[in-house]
Amino acid sequence: METQQKNLISLTFILSLVAIVLIVVSLSTDHWVESKPKLINDANNTRGKSEAHFGLFKGFRIKDVGFGPRPADLKVVCSGGQGVCVVWPEDGAKTAYIYIDVSLVNKTDDQTLYELGLFNFGYYLTIIICAALALVFGMISMGFAIFNICGKPIETITGPCGLYVWNGFAFLFSVLEMAMFLALFFTTLKENFFLSDEYEKFNFDDHTNLGYSFFLLPVAVALFFANVVCLFFSGFKFRCSFSDEAEKVVDNGMILY
């Protein structure tokens, strides 16, 4: 393998490592959504300030309806059977049970969901699965990058073809993760993530945005795509076949045996 090819494959290893770190940091931080909702009946914004931020698993909010700020830790609670999730405030006794109104979850249109403070469980689960798969394929691409640099792989899935495949899948699933969260954000979370009895008190739409935890994902996507570009410029072709050299090695092995 030429020095330039080794250098470019080494670069794919580094870029995959950085992309994996970004996805892990994204999952472990709670700033996917950031909001400063305003009281609807407080045009001058003088009756207190509320704010919240949360990620895929937890978050924090301060709610103020004019009687002083009420801070609370948040956690994402889901019911797979009912197909919904809720951003639930952990404040004392309420943590002892899951808040999901069973009588209302049959109303599946998006408007009803965000009015209830609920969001789609299928979207949420898909985001988690895509993130996990992006991490898995990213780590596989790192492993085979080392194997291609230090070893002599034949031109099968362990060789250059595999590097295209693993990085391609990592890119695909990180894109899907990002796209699914955007769908979830614009259909429900941007409209409301407070509980149903609080929805009519606040305006969320113009005061809720994506946070830095989410914006780590596009960077990871770009890095996985850059890996594919590096492989292309290294001169490797996307071809899954045995080379003549590999066949000779096998033949010699058969003879020796």
Per-residue pLDDT of the chain (257 residues; tens, 9 = 90+): 577 778 888 898 999 999 999 999 999 999 999 998 888 776 566 667 889 999 999 999 988 777 778 888 999 988 888 888 989 887 644 444 455 554 555 555 665 788 888 899 999 999 999 999 999 999 999 988 888 777 776 556 666 777 888 999 999 999 999 999 999 999 999 988 888 778 888 888 788 999 999 999 999 999 999 998 888 876 655 454 444 444 444 445 554 44
Beta bridge partners of 76: 87
Domains of the chain, each with CATH number or no CATH: 3-256 (1.20.140.150)
pTM of structure: 0.82
Contact yes or no for 27/174 (Cβ under 8 A) = no
Give the pLDDT of residue 20. Answer: 97
Please provide residue 32's backbone torsions phi and psi, each rounded to the nearest 5 degrees.
-70, -40
As given in the structure block, the two tokens for residue 41 are 């009946």
How many beta carbons lie within 10 A of that of residue 42, not counting itself?
16
* CA atoms of 11 and 18, how far apart (whole Å): 11
**Burial track 211-245 (b if 16+ CB lie within 10 A, e otherwise):** bebbebbeebbebbbbbbebbeebebeeeeeeeee
- Give the integer Cα–Cα distance in Å for 82 and 111: 17
Residue 109 to residues 28, 106, 154, 204: CA-CA distances in angstroms? Answer: 30, 9, 53, 19
What is the DSSP code (8-state) at residue 186? I
Composition of the chain by helix, strand, coil, percent to 5? 55, 15, 30
